[in-house]
Amino acid sequence: GSFAVAEISLMLAIYAFILAGPGSPGWVTVKEHGIAQSFDLRYVMFSRGNVTEKSRFATLVQPGEVVLDMYAGIGYYTLPALVIGRAAHVHACEWNPHAVQALRHNLRENAVHDRATVHEGDSRKVLEGPGGDRIRGGCDRVSLGPLQAGEVVLDMYAGIGYYTLPALVIGR
C-alpha cells in the first residue's frame, strides 16, 4: 500500500540509494567509505547502522593478511577488509544465494574479485569439507559476524580472541 511506498521513498532519500544491479528492479547500490555495495532489497537485508563497525574492522586488517569472513552477506566486512584494509585475500562464506549473487557482483564492481574466494553454503560445512583445514590454518583474522552466530564456530580456532561489536575477531 501507500505506507510501504512512503517507507521505501524515505529510505531512498535518507540512504541515497541508486537503482542498479544485474537487471532486477529491486537492486540498489549504497556507497559507504567509497565502497559500492549493491543488493536486491527484496531478498537481502542491509544494515546502515553498523557502518562505523565495518570501518573499524577494516582498520584492524593489516595489508597482506588473509581473512576469513564466516557470514559474508553482500560483503559487509569482506569489502572493507579488501578495499580499506588491503587484505591479500578474503575467504567469504555465505549461504543465501541472493547474497552470494550480490557479493560476487560487489567484488567485481569494487575491483577486488581477484583477491577473494566466495564459498557458497553453510560456513561450518565449508570449513569441515575438502580444503577446510587449509582455509582455517591459513587465516590471520576471522570475522564471525554476530556474536551469537560466531560462538558456534569459535572452538575451531586457536589463538587470542577479543570481542568487537558486532564482529568477533581472532588474531593468531
pLDDT digits (tens, 9 = 90+) for 108-164: 999 999 999 999 998 888 888 888 888 878 899 988 865 544 444 455 544 434 433
Q: For residue 155, what pLDDT is reported? A: 52
Q: Which of the four pLDDT bands, split at 50, 70 and 90, describes residue 33?
A: confident
The answer to whether residues 39 and 102 touch, using CB atoms and an 8 Å cutoff, is: yes
pLDDT digits (tens, 9 = 90+) for 39-64: 988 888 777 767 778 778 888 999 99
CA 115, distance to chain mean position in Å, is 14
Q: For residue 96, what pLDDT is reported? A: 93
Q: For residue 146, what pLDDT is reported? A: 57
**Residue boundaries of the structural domains of the chain:** 50-171
Strand 18-19 versus strand 27-32 pairing type: antiparallel
pLDDT digits (tens, 9 = 90+) for 62-114: 999 999 999 999 999 999 999 999 999 999 999 999 999 999 999 999 999 99
Q: Which residue has the higher pLDDT, 136 or 20?
A: 136
- Fold for 50-171, please state it: Rossmann fold (3.40.50)
Q: For residue 164, what pLDDT is reported? A: 39
Question: Whole-angstrom Cα distance, residue 104 to residue 100?
Answer: 6
pTM summary value:
0.72
**Which helix (H) or strand (E) segment is 97 a member of?**
helix 97-109
What are the residue ranges of helices labelled H in 16-65? 51-60
